[in-house]
């Protein structure tokens, strides 16, 4: 199963405050949060408890960037996420939803 979501990074996103003056870069935790939210859309749980099995941040993300978040996997198994700026990967990794 593959699921895709588009996200536009607002120029005034609060995470840019102080991160970093003169060259705003979106913190990786925001990217991970969007990956988890996307998994929640797939699972029907707005904020699923999950394990971040792996995560790599490959390129900085600045204000105004349009991102594509792609998840591939099956319920009960690991979910691979890829976050792309056009054709360029900015983050990749693997999530596993906790069994409640």
3-state helix, strand, coil in the chain (%, to 5): 20, 40, 40
Radius of gyration in angstroms for the set of CA atoms belonging to the chain, rounded to a whole number: 14
* Measured CA distances, 87 to 8, 42, 58, 98, 99 (Å): 15, 23, 13, 31, 34
Provide the annotated active-site residues. 19
43, 95 contact by CB (below 8 A): no
Please name which of 20, 6, 5 lies closest in space to residue 63, comparing C-alpha atoms: 20
Per-residue pLDDT of the chain (100 residues; tens, 9 = 90+): 899 999 999 999 999 988 888 899 999 999 999 999 999 999 888 878 899 999 999 999 999 999 999 999 988 889 999 999 999 999 999 999 886 5
Which pLDDT value is given to residue 77? 85
Q: What is the pTM of this model?
A: 0.92
Which pLDDT value is given to residue 100? 54
Which pLDDT value is given to residue 70? 98
Tell the CATH superfamily of the 2-97 domain.
Hotdog Thioesterase (3.10.129.10)
Which pLDDT value is given to residue 19? 86
Q: Is 61 exposed, middle or buried (0-12, 13-18, 19+ CB in 10 A)?
A: buried
């Amino acid at each position: 199963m593959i699921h895709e979501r588009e996200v536009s990074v607002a120029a005034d996103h609060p995470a840019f405050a102080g991160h970093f003056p003169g060259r705003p870069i979106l913190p990786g935790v925001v990217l991970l949060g969007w990956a988890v939210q996307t998994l929640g859309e797939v699972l029907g749980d707005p904020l699923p408890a999950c394990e971040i099995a792996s995560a790599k941040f490959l390129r900085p993300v600045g204000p105004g960037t349009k991102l594509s978040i792609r998840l591939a996997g099956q319920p009960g198994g690991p979910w691979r996420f890829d976050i792309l700026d056009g054709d360029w990967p900015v983050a990749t990794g693997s999530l596993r939803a906790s069994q409640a």
